[in-house]
Amino acid sequence: MFQFTSFFIVLSLFAFAPLCCFSHKTHGGCLYPQFYDHSCPNAQQIVKSIVAKAVAKEARMAASLLRLHFHDCFVQGCDASLLLDSRGSIVSEKRSNPNRNSARGFEVLDEIKSALEKECPLTVSCADIVALAARDSTVLAGGPSWEVPLGRRDSRGASLSGSNNNIPAPNNTFQTILTKFKRQGLNVVDLVALSGSHTIGNARCTSFRQRLYNQSGNGLPDSTFDQSYAAQLRTRCPRSGGDQNLFFLDFVSPTKFDNSYFKNLLSSRGLLSSDQVLLTKNEASMELVKIYSENNELFFEQFAQSMIKMGNITPLTGSRGEIRKNCRKINS
């Protein structure tokens, strides 16, 4: 326990160093929270008010917007490539397996971008809008806040293959998931903390069906699944059909950002295989699950730090990329 506590103290000190000085190369520029203070001083307030309106209308939107940031950053870095529609030579990442029929919230980002273009044209990037919306969504759901480093620019392309290959899948092994995080400069602490975002939101039946019926190809359910919970899930997630039926990722407090996700894992009630393996397949991640289940404050602190770290994955800065006028298409 002492070893982990020391580790967190070191991480805490590390988190407040200037981001661009130790993380991925940012192509000649630093991200910093005050980036728009002079060029668009109302930017953060505009984002916050539109996100608040969207989440008040539909609580699920908080999780949807948070997920977009994750799915954007894991492909080519945090560059809003996910927001591009298919057009010309661009094949949209929205068509990838992790995003098709599940990535949502694009209309909220469109509304934010439209308002910002009126306030300060061609100034605030779509990539920064996604990062701010993720933070505001977390806060609105009752989670931690953090200062979002800003100054990302938008890509002029997308990567369907990157989206299919880099984003962890619900049925990936623990080692595959950790490898995908390490590729982005993230570690096991980031993996467990960021997985805690599954304290809000939904998953489709198709994302966890194999756990209910045929986890290892032997026709048997996943033995690490609480069987009464599994029986309850089977009523709405049959062997075939019902693919798009939605289930809470955290059945205890589905719209509240808290540490009950980790408590669910300890009682074998993680919904996705990628959730439950945090407890069953690795000693370091198991210890972290236990720590966060007992200490909500520590979870919040680490989640905020890991979100800042994730938001700094290879951003386009300086003269790289562009500031899109419309998040769905590159400037002509």
Task: Count Cβ neighbours within 10 Å for each residue of 137-175 and write b for 16 or more, e otherwise.
Answer: bbbbbebbebebbbbbbbbbebbbeebbbbbbbbbbebe
In whole angstroms, what is the distance from residue 126 CA to residue 79 CA?
A: 8
In whole angstroms, what is the distance from residue 80 CA to residue 113 CA?
A: 12
| Residue 30 CA neighbour count, 13 Å, CB half | 10
Q: Is 79 annotated as a binding residue?
A: yes
- Is the distance from CB of 262 to CB of 293 less than 8 angstroms? yes
Q: Is 75 annotated as a binding residue?
A: yes
204, exposed or middle or buried, with CB in 10 Å at 0-12, 13-18, 19+? Answer: middle
Q: Is 123 annotated as a binding residue?
A: no
Two structure tokens written together for 57? 């209308």
Active site residue 24: no
Report CA-CA distances (Å) from 105 to 154, 164, 207, 303: 18, 20, 20, 22
- Cβ contacts of residue 224 below 8 Å, gap of 6+? 268, 276, 279, 280
Q: Is 27 annotated as a binding residue?
A: no
49, exposed or middle or buried, with CB in 10 Å at 0-12, 13-18, 19+? Answer: middle
Two structure tokens written together for 102? 């599940």
Q: Is 81 annotated as a binding residue?
A: yes
Which one of 24, 27, 69, 71 is the catalytic residue?
71
| Residue 166 CA neighbour count, 13 Å, CB half | 20
Q: Is 105 annotated as a binding residue?
A: no
Q: Is 173 annotated as a binding residue?
A: no
Q: Is 77 annotated as a binding residue?
A: yes
Which residue ranges make up the annotated binding site for heme b? 198
Which residue ranges make up the annotated binding site for substrate? 168
Which residue ranges make up the annotated binding site for Ca(2+)? 72, 75, 77, 79, 81, 93, 199, 250, 258
Which residue ranges make up the annotated binding site? 72, 75, 77, 79, 81, 93, 168, 198-199, 250, 258
Instruction: Please identify every residue annotated as catalytic.
Output: 71
